[in-house]
Amino acid sequence: MLTDPRPAAASLSLPPILEARSLTRRYRVGSGDVDAVRGVSLAVAAGEFVAFMGPSGSGKSTLLHLLGGLDRPTSGDVVLDGELISRLSDDAATKLRREKTGFVFQFFNLIPLLSVWENVALPFTIAGEDARRGEHAAAVRAALASVDLEGKERNRPDQLSAGEQQRVALARALVRRPALLLADEPTGNLDFATGTEILDRLWASCHEGGQTVVLVTHDAKAAAYADRVYVMHDGSLRDEIRLGRREDHGAGPLIARLTDLGL
Protein backbone atom coordinates (compact mmCIF):
# COMPACT_ATOMS: atom_id res chain seq x y z
CA MET A 1 0.00 0.00 0.00
CA LEU A 2 1.26 3.47 -0.84
CA THR A 3 1.27 5.78 2.14
CA ASP A 4 3.68 8.60 1.38
CA PRO A 5 3.01 10.56 -1.75
CA ARG A 6 5.84 13.04 -1.37
CA PRO A 7 8.54 11.18 -3.21
CA ALA A 8 6.27 10.87 -6.21
CA ALA A 9 5.35 14.55 -6.16
CA ALA A 10 8.87 15.62 -5.52
CA SER A 11 9.98 13.83 -8.62
CA LEU A 12 7.91 16.22 -10.73
CA SER A 13 9.25 19.54 -11.85
CA LEU A 14 6.11 21.54 -10.91
CA PRO A 15 4.64 22.07 -7.42
CA PRO A 16 1.56 19.99 -6.51
CA ILE A 17 -1.79 21.55 -7.38
CA LEU A 18 -3.72 18.80 -5.65
CA GLU A 19 -2.95 16.91 -2.49
CA ALA A 20 -4.80 14.27 -0.54
CA ARG A 21 -3.74 13.80 3.06
CA SER A 22 -4.80 10.61 4.84
CA LEU A 23 -8.15 10.75 3.13
CA THR A 24 -10.91 8.49 4.42
CA ARG A 25 -14.53 8.38 3.38
CA ARG A 26 -16.79 6.20 5.43
CA TYR A 27 -20.39 5.36 4.59
CA ARG A 28 -23.06 3.93 6.76
CA VAL A 29 -24.44 0.83 5.11
CA GLY A 30 -27.19 -0.87 7.06
CA SER A 31 -25.96 -1.24 10.60
CA GLY A 32 -22.28 -1.16 9.69
CA ASP A 33 -19.71 1.26 8.31
CA VAL A 34 -17.91 0.84 5.02
CA ASP A 35 -14.74 2.74 4.11
CA ALA A 36 -15.01 3.57 0.41
CA VAL A 37 -11.66 5.39 0.65
CA ARG A 38 -9.26 4.68 3.43
CA GLY A 39 -6.18 6.68 4.36
CA VAL A 40 -5.25 7.81 0.87
CA SER A 41 -2.44 10.29 0.51
CA LEU A 42 -1.19 11.53 -2.82
CA ALA A 43 -0.09 14.62 -4.66
CA VAL A 44 -0.70 15.67 -8.25
CA ALA A 45 1.60 18.22 -9.83
CA ALA A 46 0.28 21.10 -11.93
CA GLY A 47 0.12 20.04 -15.56
CA GLU A 48 0.24 16.36 -14.72
CA PHE A 49 -2.11 13.69 -16.16
CA VAL A 50 -2.98 11.15 -13.47
CA ALA A 51 -5.28 8.18 -13.83
CA PHE A 52 -6.94 5.98 -11.21
CA MET A 53 -7.67 2.40 -12.09
CA GLY A 54 -9.21 -0.41 -10.21
CA PRO A 55 -12.11 -2.82 -10.16
CA SER A 56 -15.69 -1.70 -9.52
CA GLY A 57 -16.15 -0.69 -5.89
CA SER A 58 -12.46 0.00 -5.34
CA GLY A 59 -13.22 3.61 -4.39
CA LYS A 60 -11.76 5.42 -7.37
CA SER A 61 -14.86 7.48 -8.17
CA THR A 62 -15.33 8.31 -4.48
CA LEU A 63 -11.72 9.48 -4.35
CA LEU A 64 -12.28 11.64 -7.45
CA HIS A 65 -15.34 13.21 -5.84
CA LEU A 66 -13.31 13.97 -2.73
CA LEU A 67 -10.44 15.43 -4.75
CA GLY A 68 -12.86 17.64 -6.71
CA GLY A 69 -14.63 18.89 -3.60
CA LEU A 70 -17.91 17.24 -4.57
CA ASP A 71 -17.90 15.24 -1.36
CA ARG A 72 -16.39 15.71 2.06
CA PRO A 73 -13.96 13.23 3.61
CA THR A 74 -14.77 11.57 6.90
CA SER A 75 -11.21 12.36 7.88
CA GLY A 76 -8.15 13.76 6.21
CA ASP A 77 -7.81 16.77 3.95
CA VAL A 78 -7.80 17.75 0.31
CA VAL A 79 -5.69 20.73 -0.73
CA LEU A 80 -6.57 22.27 -4.06
CA ASP A 81 -4.25 24.96 -5.32
CA GLY A 82 -3.17 25.76 -1.79
CA GLU A 83 -6.67 25.82 -0.29
CA LEU A 84 -8.05 23.19 2.10
CA ILE A 85 -11.18 22.51 0.08
CA SER A 86 -12.29 19.80 2.48
CA ARG A 87 -12.53 22.35 5.27
CA LEU A 88 -14.24 25.11 3.34
CA SER A 89 -17.89 25.97 3.77
CA ASP A 90 -20.21 24.61 1.13
CA ASP A 91 -20.47 28.01 -0.55
CA ALA A 92 -16.70 28.58 -0.52
CA ALA A 93 -16.03 25.07 -1.82
CA THR A 94 -18.60 25.64 -4.55
CA LYS A 95 -16.90 28.85 -5.63
CA LEU A 96 -13.50 27.18 -5.60
CA ARG A 97 -14.86 24.38 -7.78
CA ARG A 98 -16.38 26.96 -10.09
CA GLU A 99 -13.04 28.72 -10.53
CA LYS A 100 -10.50 25.89 -10.43
CA THR A 101 -12.14 22.73 -11.66
CA GLY A 102 -13.96 21.24 -14.61
CA PHE A 103 -15.82 17.94 -14.54
CA VAL A 104 -16.58 15.34 -17.18
CA PHE A 105 -18.79 12.42 -16.22
CA GLN A 106 -19.73 9.12 -17.77
CA PHE A 107 -23.31 10.39 -18.15
CA PHE A 108 -22.90 13.60 -20.04
CA ASN A 109 -25.12 15.61 -17.74
CA LEU A 110 -26.13 18.14 -20.35
CA ILE A 111 -29.16 20.30 -19.77
CA PRO A 112 -31.54 18.95 -22.43
CA LEU A 113 -33.43 22.16 -23.05
CA LEU A 114 -30.39 24.38 -23.42
CA SER A 115 -28.61 24.66 -26.73
CA VAL A 116 -25.07 23.42 -27.22
CA TRP A 117 -23.79 26.99 -26.86
CA GLU A 118 -25.76 27.51 -23.66
CA ASN A 119 -24.56 24.23 -22.18
CA VAL A 120 -20.95 25.09 -22.87
CA ALA A 121 -21.43 28.62 -21.52
CA LEU A 122 -23.00 27.31 -18.29
CA PRO A 123 -19.88 27.78 -16.11
CA PHE A 124 -19.90 31.47 -17.03
CA THR A 125 -23.66 31.73 -16.62
CA ILE A 126 -23.53 30.11 -13.19
CA ALA A 127 -20.87 32.59 -12.16
CA GLY A 128 -23.19 35.39 -13.26
CA GLU A 129 -21.01 36.32 -16.21
CA ASP A 130 -22.32 37.20 -19.64
CA ALA A 131 -21.15 34.62 -22.14
CA ARG A 132 -22.95 36.15 -25.10
CA ARG A 133 -20.23 38.61 -25.96
CA GLY A 134 -16.61 39.59 -25.29
CA GLU A 135 -13.90 37.27 -24.10
CA HIS A 136 -16.32 34.72 -22.63
CA ALA A 137 -18.07 34.32 -25.98
CA ALA A 138 -14.64 33.85 -27.55
CA ALA A 139 -13.83 31.22 -24.93
CA VAL A 140 -17.07 29.36 -25.73
CA ARG A 141 -16.27 29.49 -29.43
CA ALA A 142 -12.74 28.25 -28.78
CA ALA A 143 -13.94 25.42 -26.57
CA LEU A 144 -16.43 24.33 -29.21
CA ALA A 145 -13.76 24.54 -31.87
CA SER A 146 -11.40 22.47 -29.76
CA VAL A 147 -13.92 19.61 -29.78
CA ASP A 148 -14.88 20.13 -33.42
CA LEU A 149 -18.43 21.25 -32.74
CA GLU A 150 -18.52 24.46 -34.75
CA GLY A 151 -21.86 24.83 -36.46
CA LYS A 152 -23.69 22.84 -33.80
CA GLU A 153 -24.08 25.75 -31.40
CA ARG A 154 -27.83 26.01 -31.78
CA ASN A 155 -28.50 22.30 -31.56
CA ARG A 156 -30.10 20.75 -28.51
CA PRO A 157 -28.36 17.78 -26.84
CA ASP A 158 -30.99 15.33 -28.10
CA GLN A 159 -30.04 16.30 -31.67
CA LEU A 160 -26.46 15.12 -31.13
CA SER A 161 -24.83 11.69 -31.08
CA ALA A 162 -23.48 10.30 -27.81
CA GLY A 163 -19.92 11.19 -28.84
CA GLU A 164 -20.94 14.72 -29.70
CA GLN A 165 -22.77 15.04 -26.38
CA GLN A 166 -19.66 13.99 -24.50
CA ARG A 167 -17.63 16.49 -26.54
CA VAL A 168 -20.07 19.18 -25.49
CA ALA A 169 -19.57 18.08 -21.89
CA LEU A 170 -15.81 18.25 -22.41
CA ALA A 171 -16.03 21.70 -23.98
CA ARG A 172 -18.08 22.81 -20.99
CA ALA A 173 -15.40 21.50 -18.63
CA LEU A 174 -12.68 23.28 -20.59
CA VAL A 175 -14.36 26.57 -21.27
CA ARG A 176 -13.08 28.42 -18.22
CA ARG A 177 -9.68 26.85 -18.63
CA PRO A 178 -9.74 25.40 -15.10
CA ALA A 179 -6.49 24.41 -13.52
CA LEU A 180 -7.85 20.93 -12.75
CA LEU A 181 -9.91 18.68 -15.01
CA LEU A 182 -11.62 15.73 -13.33
CA ALA A 183 -13.01 13.02 -15.56
CA ASP A 184 -15.01 10.09 -14.22
CA GLU A 185 -15.22 7.27 -16.77
CA PRO A 186 -15.64 9.81 -19.61
CA THR A 187 -15.49 7.08 -22.24
CA GLY A 188 -17.68 4.58 -20.43
CA ASN A 189 -20.69 5.32 -22.62
CA LEU A 190 -18.83 5.70 -25.90
CA ASP A 191 -17.54 3.46 -28.64
CA PHE A 192 -13.80 3.02 -29.09
CA ALA A 193 -13.29 5.67 -31.79
CA THR A 194 -15.36 8.32 -29.99
CA GLY A 195 -13.73 7.48 -26.68
CA THR A 196 -10.33 7.94 -28.28
CA GLU A 197 -11.35 11.39 -29.52
CA ILE A 198 -12.30 12.41 -26.01
CA LEU A 199 -9.08 11.07 -24.51
CA ASP A 200 -7.01 12.79 -27.19
CA ARG A 201 -8.69 16.07 -26.33
CA LEU A 202 -8.09 15.56 -22.61
CA TRP A 203 -4.46 14.80 -23.23
CA ALA A 204 -4.13 17.87 -25.46
CA SER A 205 -5.55 20.12 -22.79
CA CYS A 206 -2.93 18.74 -20.42
CA HIS A 207 -0.01 18.57 -22.77
CA GLU A 208 -0.66 21.72 -24.75
CA GLY A 209 -2.82 23.70 -22.38
CA GLY A 210 -0.94 22.91 -19.19
CA GLN A 211 -4.06 21.83 -17.38
CA THR A 212 -3.96 19.08 -14.77
CA VAL A 213 -6.09 16.06 -15.57
CA VAL A 214 -7.31 13.44 -13.11
CA LEU A 215 -8.99 10.53 -14.83
CA VAL A 216 -10.92 7.65 -13.31
CA THR A 217 -11.25 4.63 -15.56
CA HIS A 218 -11.23 0.88 -15.56
CA ASP A 219 -9.99 0.84 -19.16
CA ALA A 220 -6.23 0.34 -19.45
CA LYS A 221 -6.23 1.97 -22.91
CA ALA A 222 -7.68 5.14 -21.40
CA ALA A 223 -5.36 5.05 -18.39
CA ALA A 224 -2.39 4.73 -20.77
CA TYR A 225 -2.79 8.43 -21.65
CA ALA A 226 -1.69 9.32 -18.10
CA ASP A 227 1.79 10.22 -16.81
CA ARG A 228 1.09 8.20 -13.70
CA VAL A 229 -1.50 5.57 -12.91
CA TYR A 230 -2.65 4.76 -9.40
CA VAL A 231 -4.12 1.32 -8.95
CA MET A 232 -6.79 1.26 -6.28
CA HIS A 233 -8.04 -1.70 -4.34
CA ASP A 234 -10.56 -1.77 -1.53
CA GLY A 235 -10.37 1.99 -0.95
CA SER A 236 -6.60 2.23 -0.84
CA LEU A 237 -3.86 3.04 -3.34
CA ARG A 238 -2.31 -0.31 -4.07
CA ASP A 239 0.27 0.73 -6.62
CA GLU A 240 1.63 3.65 -8.55
CA ILE A 241 2.72 3.10 -12.15
CA ARG A 242 4.83 5.83 -13.69
CA LEU A 243 4.46 5.92 -17.44
CA GLY A 244 5.84 9.36 -18.13
CA ARG A 245 4.63 11.81 -20.80
CA ARG A 246 4.28 9.89 -24.08
CA GLU A 247 2.90 10.97 -27.44
CA ASP A 248 1.77 7.52 -28.60
CA HIS A 249 -0.44 6.60 -25.57
CA GLY A 250 0.26 2.95 -26.19
CA ALA A 251 -1.25 0.76 -23.50
CA GLY A 252 1.41 -1.93 -23.76
CA PRO A 253 3.72 -0.80 -20.95
CA LEU A 254 0.79 -0.24 -18.61
CA ILE A 255 -0.77 -3.60 -19.38
CA ALA A 256 2.61 -5.23 -18.85
CA ARG A 257 2.97 -3.58 -15.42
CA LEU A 258 -0.54 -4.51 -14.49
CA THR A 259 0.18 -8.08 -15.49
CA ASP A 260 3.30 -8.02 -13.37
CA LEU A 261 1.16 -6.91 -10.48
CA GLY A 262 -1.19 -9.78 -11.12
CA LEU A 263 -4.10 -7.51 -12.07
Partner 1 sequence: MRALDALARRTLVARPLRTILTIAGIALGVGVLVAALVLNAGLDAAAERSVHDQLGRTDLRVAAFEERGLSAASLAALATTPGVAIVAPELERRTYPFPEPGAGPALPVPVTLVGIDPAADGALHDRQLASGSPLPLEGGDVALVSEALARGDGLAVGGMITLNGSAETGPRPFRIAGILAGVPGDPDPAGRSVVVPLAAAQSLLSTQSVTRADLGLAPGGTITAVTAALERRLTTEPYTLSTPEDLVADLRASTADFRIAIALVAAVSLFGGAFLIFNTMAMTVAERARDIGLLRAAGMTRRQVTLLVLISAGHLGVAGVALGVAVGVGLAGGVTALFSPGGGVLGIRELVIPPAGLLLGALLGFGVTIAAALEPALRAARISPVAALTSRLEQSAVLRARLSWLTLVFAVVGVTGLALWPGAADGGAGLVRPLAVYGLLLGVALVSPFLVGPLGTLIGALARPFLPVEERLTRSTLVRDPSRTALTVGALAVALAVLVALGGMASTTRRAATAWLTDVVPGDALLTAIRPVPLDEPQLADLAAVPGVARLSPIGRFAISVGGQRLDAAAVVGADLLADGRLALSAGDRAVGLPALDAGGAVILPAAIADRLGLPLGGSLQVLAGRQVVALRVVGIAARTIPGAAGEAVLVGWPDATARLGVLGADVFAVRYVPGQATTAAADLEPVARAAALEPASLDALAGTIGAAVDRLFALLTALAAVALIVAGLGIVNTLTMNVLERVRELGFLRAAGLTRRQARRLVMLEAAVLGAVGAIIGVGAGILAGVILAALGAGPGVAYDPGWGNIGLALVGGVGLAVLASAWPATIAARIEIVRAVQYE
Give residues in contact with partner 1 (CB under 8 A): 61-62, 65, 68, 70-71, 90-91, 94-95, 97-99, 102-103, 105, 107, 109, 111-114, 118, 122-123, 125-128, 130, 158, 172, 184
Q: Which is nearer to partner 1, 30 or 112 (CB)?
A: 112
Look at the alpha carbons of 110, 113, 117, 121 in this order and tell me if their dihedral is positive or negative: negative
Q: Which is nearer to partner 1, 173 or 199 (CB)?
A: 173
Strand 101-104 versus strand 83-84 pairing type: unpaired
> Residue 85 contacts by C-beta under 8 Å, 6 or more apart in sequence?
69, 78, 79, 93, 96, 97
> Residue 105 contacts by C-beta under 8 Å, 6 or more apart in sequence?
169, 183, 184, 185, 186
Closest approach of partner 1 to the CB of residue 122, in Å: 6
Q: Which is nearer to partner 1, 64 or 237 (CB)?
A: 64
- φ, ψ (nearest 5 deg) of residue 179: -65, -30
Strand 212-216 versus strand 228-233 pairing type: unpaired
Closest approach of partner 1 to the CB of residue 131, in Å: 10
CA–CA dist 186, 103 (Å, integer) = 10
Closest approach of partner 1 to the CB of residue 164, in Å: 14
DSSP 3-state assignment of 76?
strand
Q: Which is nearer to partner 1, 126 or 142 (CB)?
A: 126
DSSP 3-state assignment of 174?
helix
Q: Which is nearer to partner 1, 89 or 259 (CB)?
A: 89
Closest approach of partner 1 to the CB of residue 250, in Å: 31
Partner residues linked to 53 by β-bridges? 231
CA–CA dist 240, 25 (Å, integer) = 21
Partner residues linked to 236 by β-bridges? 233
Q: Which is nearer to partner 1, 95 or 242 (CB)?
A: 95
Q: Which is nearer to partner 1, 99 or 260 (CB)?
A: 99
Closest approach of partner 1 to the CB of residue 262, in Å: 29
Closest approach of partner 1 to the CB of residue 199, in Å: 20
Closest approach of partner 1 to the CB of residue 260, in Å: 32
DSSP 3-state assignment of 112?
coil
Closest approach of partner 1 to the CB of residue 109, in Å: 4
Residue from 57, 77, 55 nearest 66 by CA: 77
Partner residues linked to 214 by β-bridges? 50, 182
Q: Which is nearer to partner 1, 71 or 197 (CB)?
A: 71
